[in-house]
Amino acid sequence: MAYQTLDVEPLAGAMGAVIHGVDLSTDLSNQAFDEIHQAFLDHKAIFFHNQNLDPQQQIAFGRRFGPMGVYPFMEGLEEAPETFEILKTEDDKQNFGGAWHSDMSFTSIPPLGTMLYSLEMPDAGGDTLFANTALAYDALSDGMKDMLDGLIGVYSAALKRSGGRAQRFKTNKSMNAKNMDNVDMEAEHPVVRTHPETGKKALYLGKGHTVRFKDMTEAESRPLIDFLAEHCVRPEFTCRFAWGVGSLALWDNRCTLHFAIDDYPGQRRRMRRLTIEGDQPV
């Protein structure tokens, strides 16, 4: 589309765009927001630099897209419980989100999107990778698409393939975890979901959360899960975002995967996150 109020700079051929000339702390006009929303749908992930946002201002921008969601395993900020901080300190050995995944696919109604705002960044590193799973679906053969049609995945919060969610929080003691007795929550969703706003199909699975296909064992399911998960993150389907302090990212959880790169040992990285309620995948 032709943007009248925005400067939208594509980040990569596959997906992602940096939006310039917008102050998200202000009350955006309907036209400006409509163009931001269209850029979000067109590019799957949108990025802003040099923003100065307190938690309430971040929440206000997020609410333009929909109601706030709740992440089940982290305490929200006292002054803004809809948000929480993701912190890796100089002493932490493992980051948060350091594997390809779609947020909260283990819930019955996963988020529409995730919004992350950077508060502290290392001197170098700490980028985030994103993958366009709609583009990945389009690249599959017709035979594979036919096989996946109607296939249901079982999605778990346990993260068993990477040592378990509770253990991951133990290795990062800076994170204010909760509900560790509920890490086995599961949900069932189509492996190919249709985007409710664009009508496009996208792959919806990953190695971390998708444990098996419905009515199949984990051993039977794993080869196909692994193939599809690795297919989704082929370089030609991805982009890479380099944060600065005051950067904000919003990605479409319905048709993307993301990966927080852990390449800054001995340095701090602090982010503020919120999620936007979505709909049941179909």
155 class by beta-carbon count within 10 Å (0-12 exposed, 13-18 middle, 19+ buried) = buried
Nearest to 106 by CA among 3, 185, 203: 185
- Please state, in angstroms and rounded to a whole number, the distance separating the CA atoms of residues 269 and 153: 33
Give the residue numbers marked as catalytic: 101, 103, 258, 273
Can you give the length of the chain in residues? Answer: 282
> Got the DSSP string for 254-274?
TSEEEEE----TTS-EEEEEE
Given a contact cutoff of 8 angstroms between Cβ atoms, the answer to whether 267 and 117 are in contact is: no
Contacts with 105 (C-beta within 8 Å, 6 or more apart), sequence order: 155, 187, 189, 204, 205, 206, 209, 210
The rounded distance, in Å, linking the Cα atoms of 133 and 70 is 24
